[in-house]
Structure 1
């Protein structure tokens, strides 16, 4: 801006963005009070495509359900045109049910006497070059490549054949055949070709027939969505698949289990390349397993994988065929004297996500969210406390196996915020811009702000090697929410996804899909 004397005055530095005000958008599969949830209906995977116009969910019954954005199609035009019409650019996002299909069925491994669940572990969208939708889905053992596209409906229709017309391989000379008795010869032959029976088994009624009606296939203008499995990638994992991730080259993807990561070509289903193998010669020497893996969003040679020891390894596929060494290692040093029986369990990373530009990696362990800069491997740049209030209850959580729950995490498209789930169907949104104190607790219900804790949240800072790291806490009341209700460890929000370009979150609470916007 210009001052009165014509000199330039430096603009004040912009502060952190204000906290978002989240609002309920939609719910699919909402439960009524007292309704029992079927195990097969519980949502186990959520994923937006790159455009954000389509959303896919998978459930424990092996089904994949697709939703499509509807509010953007109703008003197509540039931002300038929308402003000229005084039409709000930021609208209430609306999705509708598109289609669903059975992706996986329960199987039985007879060699290992092991049941293989149909539960969908992960869904990943692939590039869509011709308007059709392509996606990968996996259960514990088998990955499938699906193509979903609209096809014109073909219907069976009756067509009336005029009497003198020839039909098929036989010919109908006249429908008004003579009713005078004539002897039929073998094979329907007759001397004067005027007959009322074609064979010993088939004859026209007396008086003939007025017309012949044959069914024909007619292509209508109606369309329906058809899901077709194009490839099945099987028999490549001895352990349960925990991750699949598409490469930015659009041709390859990885699949990861506890001990190995395999590289696949989308067009080749009978061969994969083992690129990471952490299986020791003696299984008694096993100290850590792979928990999650993801390709870099733009560098097709780079991927990251996390471990049960709380570390993240960045590997470069150009270095060697078998990437048994990493290019970078990200891990936080353990504080002296803080080790306990649960230290390694709660350090295990359940999910990692790259930011859209690939500069940062977000990781989720049982207690915290951590944001890592891939150019700084000395420690996380930010740590967000999610379950610190549960630390006194770790023994109970170990007894009921809740300590092994695997919560997912996600980043906003602009990289300014991160989110993850918690118990009592709660999820938390944290701001990660410099100077922000945003830490919002929301409930997966039609009133997401119902459990919001109205207390000022100040980030605690610690200086180390001249790098400022931020630790931000969510609501850390000892087992109770703002309304005095105790947390319910049987209802947990494990799966959620952030829209790639907007502040919109989809999350799963049992069999219900909730969507929120800000």
Structure 2
């Protein structure tokens, strides 16, 4: 190696704390279980063991300079605990993974999953309106009739459930990954990988199945599955 070659090393420095620091008052349900940044870095989603997802939005601050700084935007309950009555199995609400969908047609959506169910959420801004130009009292002439006008007085960020993808995994879901075609995604558990279409929640296609005829012959399991970046045909 030439003596003129310099090795570049990443320099890490503390930037920001997101969330409330309650010290010893933190509960186990508040523990973070998943974190994901949107493709453009404008949002960061944080999921915890209670099934909630907190969205933080990047804000521009001249005092901060080029560093990204995030502030609370909204939160919602993504999953709730459930019971598989056929197996007498408790299904925890803990968020295992979050994946942002590409921002297509100015529609910001994300996928979230617990052990059994994947959900597609759409983030939007709800505008609160106020009616003005209303007539009060008795109208004696048609000229006194007024058309009410609606004005935007405030906006509230919110998330709505688009659809749920369920009943396709026997074992706990450990990962989800979006395809570059912006239409399909895969989900994996210990032994299987399934492919879904974002607009068809009731149908999935099995791509990989490692389950042997005799479970005693099992030698390997799937811990995670992800599409190769920019190549939709490789996992």
Q: In which range does the TM-score fall when normalised by the shorter chain? A: 0.7 to 0.9
Match of 2:90 among 115, 119, 122: 115
Bigger Rg, structure 1 or 2: 1
Q: 1:259 to 1:28 in 2, by over 3 A?
A: same
1:163 shift after superposition: 0.8
- Give the corresponding residue for 1:70: 59
Q: 1:257 to 1:156 in 2, by over 3 A?
A: farther
- Give the corresponding residue for 1:229: 161
Match of 1:275 among 198, 207, 220: 207
- Give the corresponding residue for 1:29: 19
Secondary structure at the counterpart of residue 128 of structure 2: strand
Q: Which whole-Å CA distance do the structure 2 matches of 1:41 and 1:96 have between them? A: 18
Residue 126 (structure 1) aligned with residue 101 (structure 2): yes
Q: 1:14 to 1:165 in 2, by over 3 A?
A: farther
Q: Under a length normalisation based on structure 1, what TM-score does the superposition of the two structures give?
A: 0.41
- 8 Å contact kept, 2:94–2:114: yes
**Structure with greater contact order relative to length (CA < 8 Å, sep ≥ 6):** 1
Secondary structure at the counterpart of residue 28 of structure 1: coil
Unmatched tracts of structure 2, length 5 or more: 142-147
Q: 1:108 to 1:154 in 2, by over 3 A?
A: farther
Q: Which whole-Å CA distance do the structure 2 matches of 1:104 and 1:217 have between them? A: 39
- 8 Å contact kept, 1:132–1:150: no
Q: Which whole-Å CA distance do the structure 2 matches of 1:292 and 1:165 have between them? A: 73
Q: Which whole-Å CA distance do the structure 2 matches of 1:51 and 1:251 have between them? A: 19
1:145 shift after superposition: 0.5
- What does the per-residue CA deviation read over 1:159-196, in whole Å, with 9 as the maximum and x for residues that have no partner? 55431379xxxxxxxxxxxxxxxxxxxxxxxxxxxxxx
Secondary structure at the counterpart of residue 262 of structure 1: strand
- Give the corresponding residue for 1:260: 192
1:31 shift after superposition: 2.9
- Give the corresponding residue for 2:28: 39
Q: Under a length normalisation based on structure 2, what TM-score does the superposition of the two structures give?
A: 0.88
| Superposition map of 1:243-392 within 5 A | 243-303=175-235
- Give the corresponding residue for 1:79: none
- What does the per-residue CA deviation read over 1:213-265, in whole Å, with 9 as the maximum and x for residues that have no partner? xxx99452421112011110010101100000001111100000011000001
- 8 Å contact kept, 1:152–1:219: no
- Give the corresponding residue for 1:15: 6
Q: Which whole-Å CA distance do the structure 2 matches of 1:96 and 1:16 have between them? A: 35
Q: Which whole-Å CA distance do the structure 2 matches of 1:59 and 1:145 have between them? A: 17
Unmatched tracts of structure 1, length 5 or more: 1-10, 76-86, 167-215, 304-518
RMSD: 2.5
Residue 93 (structure 1) aligned with residue 25 (structure 2): no
Q: Which structure has more strand as a fraction of its residues? A: 2
